[in-house]
């Protein structure tokens, strides 16, 4: 489907990709294909923006990378795991090595900020945590991560008492607590105001560069993608139409992603929540 030319200019470096997707097709049950032949590589240190209108398959692609969506056809390799051929017990290992950030933050509101960050280490917490204990080393690292995202002073407060931007920072710290090899952020700024959106994307970009891990961020606001990403991948109706370094792209070239999409254009919709609008 999507040709090799799409990928030819993709690699920003000579290192091996940490995620490789080839010819991915995804359908839920008998419904039409949500993803139709997607090829994608994610390289260390880059922030890749994933663009597309509502229902274009952005979220499904994210889910397919972590085993939350089925892989009907094609191959998906993430952090050394082959998702089409996962052995028993490997799914947890895969998920532990992929940090995820969500649109609605998905923090446990009644738990403290620190505990929320600590849950990122659950995969290597011993049986001691049956009673809720995390090791001192884990706690130290969680606090360092809170320092890094700038809200260590809120460590002891309930997560639900924080503002949206602060909650998203906690969620990013939780993802980093996993010591991830890749970070996936599905519409991480869709619930935030523009100023906070820039701050969160700056943070994610810093993480990509400083930690040398790929960060894949789905966005629906073009200017944010053009400003903050190293590379842009664009989907329309489940097909990959764009994959190029951001410096080679502009809003006009990305128009193709939003043509013929339910006669609706939400590119500049800053606060849209389109979960219900997808796949009409």
Partner 1 sequence: MALLSPETTPDGTTGTAGSPETARRGRPAERPQLDPRERERLERAFSVPRARFLLGVPVAAILLVWSFVGAEFDFAKLGEGAANMGEFLSRMFPPTWDKLDVIVELLVETLQMAIVGTVLGAVLSLIVAFGAASNIAPRWLYYPTRWVMNVIRSLPDLVFALMFVSAVGLGPFAGILAMTVGSIGSIGKVFAEAMEAVDDGPVTAMQAVGSSRRQVVQYGVLPQAGPMLVSDTLLLFEGNVRGATILGMVGAGGIGLELTTAMKMYDYGHLSAIVICIIVLVTVIDQASAVIRRKIT
Q: State the residues that interact with partner 1 by CB under 8 A.
A: 1-3, 5-10, 66, 68, 92-98, 100, 102, 104-111, 115, 119-120, 122-123, 125, 129-130, 132, 171, 174, 178, 236-237, 239, 241-245, 248-249, 253, 255-256, 258-265
Q: What minimum distance in Å lies between the beta carbon of 167 and partner 1?
A: 11
Q: What minimum distance in Å lies between the beta carbon of 147 and partner 1?
A: 20
Which lies closer to partner 1 via its Cβ, residue 47 or residue 241? 241
Q: What minimum distance in Å lies between the beta carbon of 191 and partner 1?
A: 12
Residue 41, Cβ neighbours under 10 Å: how many?
22
Whether 81 and 94 have beta carbons less than 8 Å apart is answered as yes
Please give the Cα distance from 145 to 151 (Å, whole number).
9
Which lies closer to partner 1 via its Cβ, residue 71 or residue 96? 96
Q: What minimum distance in Å lies between the beta carbon of 193 and partner 1?
A: 20
Which lies closer to partner 1 via its Cβ, residue 9 or residue 85? 9
- Within 141-205, strands assigned E span 182-186
Please give the Cα distance from 35 to 13 (Å, whole number).
27
Whether 51 and 219 have beta carbons less than 8 Å apart is answered as yes
Residue 98: C-alpha distances to residues 63, 106, 263 (Å): 11, 16, 35
Whether 239 and 230 have beta carbons less than 8 Å apart is answered as no
Q: Is 113 left (phi over 0), alpha (psi -120 to 50) or beta?
A: alpha
Q: What minimum distance in Å lies between the beta carbon of 92 and partner 1?
A: 4
> What is the Rg, in whole angstroms, of the alpha carbon atoms belonging to the chain?
18
Q: What minimum distance in Å lies between the beta carbon of 242 and partner 1?
A: 6
DSSP, res 25: E
């Amino acid at each position: 489907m999507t040709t090799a030319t799409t990928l030819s200019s993709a690699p920003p470096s000579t290192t091996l990709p940490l995620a490789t997707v080839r010819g991915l097709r995804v359908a839920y049950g008998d419904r039409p294909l949500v993803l139709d032949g997607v090829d994608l590589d994610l390289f260390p240190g880059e922030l890749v923006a994933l663009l597309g209108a509502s229902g274009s398959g952005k979220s499904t692609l994210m889910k397919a990378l972590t085993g939350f969506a089925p892989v009907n056809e094609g191959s998906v390799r993430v952090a050394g795991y082959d998702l089409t051929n996962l052995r028993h017990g490997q799914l947890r290992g895969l998920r532990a090595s992929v940090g995820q950030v969500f649109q609605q933050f998905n923090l446990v509101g009644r738990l403290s900020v620190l505990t929320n960050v600590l849950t990122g280490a659950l995969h290597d917490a011993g049986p001691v945590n049956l009673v809720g204990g995390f090791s001192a080393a884990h706690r130290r690292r969680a606090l360092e991560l809170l320092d890094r995202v700038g809200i260590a002073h809120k460590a002891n407060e309930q997560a639900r008492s924080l503002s949206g931007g602060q909650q998203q920072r906690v969620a990013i710290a939780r993802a980093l607590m996993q010591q991830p090899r890749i970070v996936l952020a599905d519409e991480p700024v869709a619930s935030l105001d523009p100023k906070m959106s820039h701050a969160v994307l700056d943070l994610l970009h810093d993480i990509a560069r400083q930690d040398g891990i790929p960060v894949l961020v789905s966005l629906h606001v073009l200017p944010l993608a053009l400003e903050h990403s190293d590379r842009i991948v664009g989907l329309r109706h489940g097909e990959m139409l764009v994959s190029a370094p951001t410096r080679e792209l502009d809003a006009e070239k990305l128009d193709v992603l939003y043509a013929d999409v339910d006669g609706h254009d939400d590119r500049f919709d800053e606060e849209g929540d389109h979960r219900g609008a997808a796949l009409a």
